[in-house]
């Protein structure tokens, strides 16, 4: 299934994209794509619905973040061997973890607003993993059983804030609008292998990132195993699993960061496409 949320910010309704690409309203069955709806039982109840009975949504409404009421937004840094090489970083011994503030989360096509003082705003196409059932001390052999589904995340980053403002990476990762998520959550039964997904990102029509989740240093299962040994993962938690090469920070001899008026487009095999205009806070 492809589950989504549509409507004005803060007023999103739950929806589903059927096999013909028609957006259908789920609000007669669930209040949101969140919490227990993401559990195995919750997803099975949605699968049992006769899709033809769901009202078709007219027009082309705004798509919101594909997950509502996100609990934790966990991010893994330097998780692609080819990305670590382009930035000159050593291969980490354990997954590098930072958190993105939930207030950064926006819809897949919402405008990304660079904050005041931004000089080095960068792009990062990433595979998002949405937890469906509680995970604590899980083994990598069954870690994927705790996944509700997968989505596209753009881990937008202000590199000056991230690296120069003294502190953790969270400073440069959590600016408002720096977490476009969606367009939809694709349930795990439709993703045969999360370690075999092609991905890309364009800026102003120019291909910047081309990668594949096969070059992850730590697999999705290994990440869940590691994180669940540190803290409990709950339904609706999102894990952004790192980015392939091609970010501005890795450009030689000189990075070319985002500017007002730029357009980003990014996608992952089977998980849909995002498109964001870039703006600037006054």
Domain boundaries defined on the chain:
2-53, 73-280
73-280: CATH architecture: Alpha-Beta Complex (3.90)
State residue 89's pLDDT score: 77
CA dihedral for 158, 149, 50, 28, sign (positive or negative) = negative
Query: Alpha-carbon distance 253 to 47, whole Å?
Result: 51
For 277, the 3-state DSSP assignment is strand
Instruction: Report the percent of the chain where pLDDT is more than 90.
Output: 90
Q: CB under 8 Å to 26, separation ≥6 — which residues?
A: 3, 13, 14, 15, 16, 33, 46, 49, 54
Residue ranges in the chain modelled with pLDDT below 50: none
Q: What is the pTM of this model?
A: 0.97
Cα-flanking dihedrals φ and ψ of residue 205, to 5°?
80, 0
Query: Alpha-carbon distance 115 to 267, whole Å?
Result: 24
Query: Alpha-carbon distance 166 to 155, whole Å?
Result: 20
State residue 228's pLDDT score: 98
State residue 84's pLDDT score: 78
Q: CB under 8 Å to 82, separation ≥6 — which residues?
A: 211, 215, 244, 245
């Amino acid at each position: 299934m492809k589950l989504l949320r549509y409507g004005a910010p803060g007023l999103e309704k739950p929806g589903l994209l059927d096999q013909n690409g028609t957006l259908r309203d789920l609000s007669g069955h669930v209040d949101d794509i969140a919490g227990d709806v993401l559990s195995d039982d919750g997803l099975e109840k949605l699968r049992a619905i006769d899709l033809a009975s769901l009202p078709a949504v007219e027009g082309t409404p705004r798509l919101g973040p594909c997950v509502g009421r996100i609990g934790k937004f966990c991010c893994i840094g330097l998780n692609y061997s080819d990305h670590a090489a382009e930035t000159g970083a050593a291969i980490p011994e354990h997954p590098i973890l930072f958190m993105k503030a939930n207030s950064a989360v926006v819809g897949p096509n919402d405008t990304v607003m660079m904050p005041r003082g931004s000089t080095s705003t960068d792009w990062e196409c990433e595979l998002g993993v949405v937890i469906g059932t509680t995970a604590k001390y899980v083994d990598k052999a069954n870690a994927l059983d705790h996944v509700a589904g997968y989505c596209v995340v753009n881990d937008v980053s202000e590199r000056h804030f991230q690296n120069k403002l003294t502190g953790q990476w969270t400073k440069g990762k959590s600016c408002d609008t720096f977490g476009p998520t969606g367009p939809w959550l694709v349930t795990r039964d439709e993703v045969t292998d999360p370690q075999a997904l092609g991905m890309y990102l364009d800026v102003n029509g120019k291909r910047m990132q081309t990668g594949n989740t096969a070059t992850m240093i730590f697999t999705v299962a290994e990440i869940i195993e590691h994180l669940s040994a540190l803290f409990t993962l709950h339904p609706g938690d999102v894990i952004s699993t790192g980015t392939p090469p091609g970010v501005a920070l890795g450009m030689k001899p000189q990075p070319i960061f985002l500017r007002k008026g730029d357009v980003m487009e990014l996608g992952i095999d089977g998980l849909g496409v995002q498109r964001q205009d870039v703006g600037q806070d006054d």
